[in-house]
Amino acid sequence: MGSQWKKDSVYKKSVREGYLARSAYKLLDINERFNIIRKTDNVVDLGAAPGSWLQVLRTMTNGQLLGVDLTPIVPMEYVITITGDFTTPKVQEKIMELMPFVNVVVSDASPHLSGAKAYDQARIMALNEDTLRFTELLLKQGGNFVMKSFQGIDFNDLFNQVKERFYAVRVIRSVATRRGSTECYIVAKNFIGDADDDRKRSSE
Ligand SMILES: C[S@@+](CC[C@H](N)C(=O)[O-])C[C@H]1O[C@@H](n2cnc3c(N)ncnc32)[C@H](O)[C@@H]1O
């Protein structure tokens, strides 16, 4: 199945255009439709390996970029990369220390899928909830957030949690997502946040 996917036209295009993964087109598509990233934004990319979203982000902003993944990210000029689990306090603290002022959080993170649907869906929902909780700590008021998810059990609860925290939220399918996949992206703009955010963080 892997080799069949590798030969699809989006994959071939990504190789031709020098992207590290076909996922690059997902972020390009999302940003074209929803204008998530502005020229000076500082962006954190969760689940960033091998690094195609970072390649794309580099063309979208001159701000500071940080990517984190369980597996090493291809090194890039002017991009901070961390190898680690972003759901752990140690890695979260390191990211917050390196990126005190974050305008946008993007997450393409997904666990390694086993093929057992109910089990995979539960793990994805758990990762999405951890991602949302960390994003609340990281993001400044008014910031934007993109998170990969999969439609299925508990997705609506997750979506409602995001809706409580941002002024504008949509669920979209990217044009680069494979046919038949339940993959979707939650695109959330204008983080409601908390007026005490900066004080809370500096007193911790
Ligand atoms: C689809 S890939 C990301 C592709 C990436 N956006 C790109 O364009 O190159 C999903 C990634 O999420 C990472 N991941 C999953 N859970 C993670 C976690 N808790 N902490 C860090 N990375 C995680 C995986 O290691 C995997 O590399």
Summarize pLDDT for 122-151 with one digit per residue, the tens.
999 999 999 999 999 999 999 999 999 999
Which residues, at least 6 apart from 175, have a Cβ–Cβ distance to it below 8 Å?
Answer: 25, 29
Which pair of tokens denotes residue 95? 């990211």
> In ligand 1, which atom is closest to the CA atom of 85?
20
Output the CA torsion sign for 4, 25, 191, 201. Answer: positive
148 is catalytic: yes
Which pair of tokens denotes residue 192? 């409601």
Name the residue of 10, 26, 70, 185 to mutate for ligand 1: max ligand atoms within 8 A of Cβ.
70
Q: How far is the CA of 145 from the centre of ligand 1 (A)?
A: 16
β-bridge pairing 43-46 and 102-107: parallel
- Kindly tell me if the per-residue pLDDT of 200 is higher than 60: no
Domains (ranges, CATH) in the chain? 24-203 (3.40.50.150)
Calpha distance 99→80 (Å, rounded): 10
Instruction: Write the CA distances from 195 to 43, 81, 141, integer angstroms.
Output: 21, 30, 8
In tens, the pLDDT along 66-91 reads: 999 999 999 999 999 999 999 999 99
Calpha distance 169→161 (Å, rounded): 10
Q: Which pLDDT score is estimated for 198?
A: 56
